[in-house]
Amino acid sequence: MIIKSAEFVTSAVKPTQYPVADLPEIAFAGRSNVGKSSLINTLLNRKRLVKTSATPGRTQLINFFLINKAFSFVDLPGFGYAKVPAAVQKTWGPMIETYFSTRETLKGVVLIMDIRRIPGIQELNLIEWFAHYSIPSILILTKADKLSKTKQLHQHHLIAKALSLAAGGLIRFSAKTRQGKTEVWGAIGKLLDFHP
Ligand SMILES: Nc1nc2c(ncn2[C@@H]2O[C@H](COP(=O)(O)OP(=O)(O)OP(=O)(O)O)[C@@H](O)[C@H]2O)c(=O)[nH]1
Ligand SMILES: [Mg+2]
């Protein structure tokens, strides 16, 4: 995929603040600090388009990016970070569900999980929402560089089992080594109906 342009558009919490829905859109979801922003930056060959941080839970807004003036990427706020104030944690569910249920141009969601961790109830709930709202999903196991190849395969199979999926339904990825980047673009291209 050749990235000619990638620009931040706006941050939003509610539909009236979303940019006009006139281009196909792909959203990125996952636990806080899992590596959502790093994955987006890696896909776009940008070091700091999307802010990453060592402090989890920093992205608490829905951030919209315009790519090649042809489609949008949306960095959704992460869930599950205990230090986020209770009031913010409470608004996360409705904010995300409103986005999933109202965004007509949403073509799919990339759910990012840590390859070292068996997904929990939040990931399972998100996968249920995707099914409920008929949103196609791409499931990613990131930070693969943190494990040996043997351990990667072992975790890949355990996580697939925990999600009742075939192993082929998960893509192993690393923002550090760029492992899996081509595969992720292939999956996104299918949802956006182009060939990256
Ligand atoms: N080794 C390794 N570290 C990674 C990878 N992806 C992200 N990280 C690190 O994990 C930390 C969190 O990454 P972010 O991309 O900011 O994660 P996020 O999910 O956007 O986090 P929030 O927006 O705070 O919820 C940073 O220190 C990254 O450098 C990866 O593939 N490999
Ligand atoms: Mg982030």
**Distance in Å, CA 58 to ligand 2 centroid:** 6
Contacts of 42 (CB under 8 A, 6+ apart): 175, 178, 181
Task: Specify the pTM.
Answer: 0.93
Contacts of 184 (CB under 8 A, 6+ apart): 39, 43, 110, 138, 140, 171, 173
Judged by phi (left if over 0) then psi (alpha if -120 to 50, else beta), residue 193 lies in left
Question: Which residues of the chain form beta strands (DSSP E)?
Answer: 6-12, 25-30, 62-67, 71-75, 106-114, 137-142, 170-172
Per-block mean pLDDT, blocks of 10 residues, the chain (196 long): 90 94 96 92 86 61 93 90 67 89 96 96 92 96 98 98 94 98 97 82
- What pLDDT is recorded for position 136? 97
- What pLDDT is recorded for position 193? 86
Cβ–ligand 1 distance for 119 under 6 Å, the answer no
Q: Given ligand 1 and candidates 11, 31, 33, which is best to mutate, with the most ligand atoms within 8 Å of its CB?
A: 33
**Distance in Å, CA 155 to ligand 2 centroid:** 24
